[in-house]
Structure 1
């Protein structure tokens, strides 16, 4: 008999500063009589970032914005009469509205505790390790999401100007799904190449939060070809303190743009993105996600 498929789950360390001390939010599960961090399995085709945000809200009543990654737990579970591996991805999470928690069969109690008391209350050492990782991941000075535009109509199938070439139907679907992910990250500033395929990639999100899209022609293919040095100095403009900024550009531009922004250069499929956080100690943490 083949081994059961790996179970993927996601959650977060929800935290706040309260009376000069950092507190984290724990959940009590009556089924196991344990104290743990909010987490849960992904639903079908659900992005891991959205799963983390959803599970936090479902278990604690807190709507939270996700920050830097805190690590991945790996452990064995029983599944369908056999043993499977479970991977749980965790992020720092900051609540953005008052909790609407109601006790239920899955979680009957939540508790905000100072970090030292939370470490004692937690039932599993692996959860303590995740809470300990929070200390090195906050505070965040600025965050940035660098994305390649979603799938566009092929050049050979488009008779107009390349800058006006639109997204394909597949690309339009990706743009809609990207909007939910950008919401989970708390994006509040939107920058795009002036090409239609880039603007349309971030337009569903910008429209949803009623934010203006800042057009930067220098990060378009045409602008970069005309003046590669036009990217110089963009990092200072992109990394805006206190903001979570999304920047949408093109495959030929992204390597140079990544270097300018201080990020590692890598391949970008259409609709793929990097989430990066600049920490107060000067470090930069980032993670790469494939196409939606």
Structure 2
């Protein structure tokens, strides 16, 4: 069974513009990377766990803020490494600059015997659809596009 993640695509409509919340991974490997590395808040979950419950847990772990609302299931996507991402969209509004992510320990530099503690997420921000499609992991572009289509159909 390939690894799987569950995540939340939080969205808001500001002056008729759809915006989505994306998060930037923490740590030294992503420090100076921007294009194509942002993601929806997400994390791995076990096969016997309810995906939406896992998505809500991961959102809170990565942003420090709980999430609730009317969750819209989106089509799953497969990332380059084979991980399947299950996602739900929900309308809401959080202060992206106020996120507080959980942390984890990693050996850095690799095989050095030195361990550092880093935040899983070091930034969050709201992006319009065009910008989000540039910033986000390529496999997750489909999530933003699907949400954009659903919202535009809803407003017509």
Name the TM-score, length of structure 1 as normaliser. 0.39
Q: Residue 25 of structure 2 corresponds to which residue in structure 1?
A: 29
Q: CA RMSD in A?
A: 2.7
Q: Residue 59 of structure 1 corresponds to which residue in structure 2?
A: 62
Equivalent residues of 1:15, 1:22 under 8 A apart: yes
Q: Residue 10 of structure 1 corresponds to which residue in structure 2?
A: 6
Q: Distance in 2 between matches of 1:97 and 1:119?
A: 20
Distance change in 2, residues 1:24/1:129 (3 Å):
same
Higher helix fraction (1 or 2): 1
Shift, 1:75, TM fit: 3.7
- Structure 1 runs (4+) deviating above 4 angstroms are 96-100
The correspondence of residues 1-292 of structure 1 with structure 2, limited to 5 A, is: 5-31=1-27, 32-33=29-30, 34-43=37-46, 45-62=48-65, 63-75=67-79, 77=81, 85-95=82-92, 101-103=99-101, 104=103, 105-122=119-136, 124-138=137-151, 280=154
Equivalent residues of 2:80, 2:139 under 8 A apart: no
Distance change in 2, residues 1:16/1:44 (3 Å):
same
Shift, 1:134, TM fit: 0.3
1:185-221: CA deviation from partner (whole Å, max 9, x where unpaired): xxxxxxxxxxxxxxxxxxxxxxxxxxxxxxxxxxxxx
Q: Distance in 2 between matches of 1:98 and 1:121?
A: 19
Q: Residue 114 of structure 2 corresponds to which residue in structure 1?
A: none
Shift, 1:24, TM fit: 0.4
Equivalent residues of 1:60, 1:101 under 8 A apart: yes
Q: Distance in 1 between matches of 2:133 and 2:23?
A: 13
Q: Distance in 2 between matches of 1:56 and 1:70?
A: 16
Equivalent residues of 2:6, 2:44 under 8 A apart: yes
Shift, 1:12, TM fit: 2.1
Equivalent residues of 1:28, 1:109 under 8 A apart: yes
Q: Which has the higher contact order (CA 8 A, sep 6+)?
A: 2
Equivalent residues of 1:70, 1:91 under 8 A apart: yes
- 3-state SS of the aligned residue for 1:57? helix
Name the TM-score, length of structure 2 as normaliser. 0.69
Shift, 1:58, TM fit: 1.7
Distance change in 2, residues 1:46/1:17 (3 Å):
same
Q: Which runs of 5+ in 2 are unaligned?
A: 31-36, 104-118
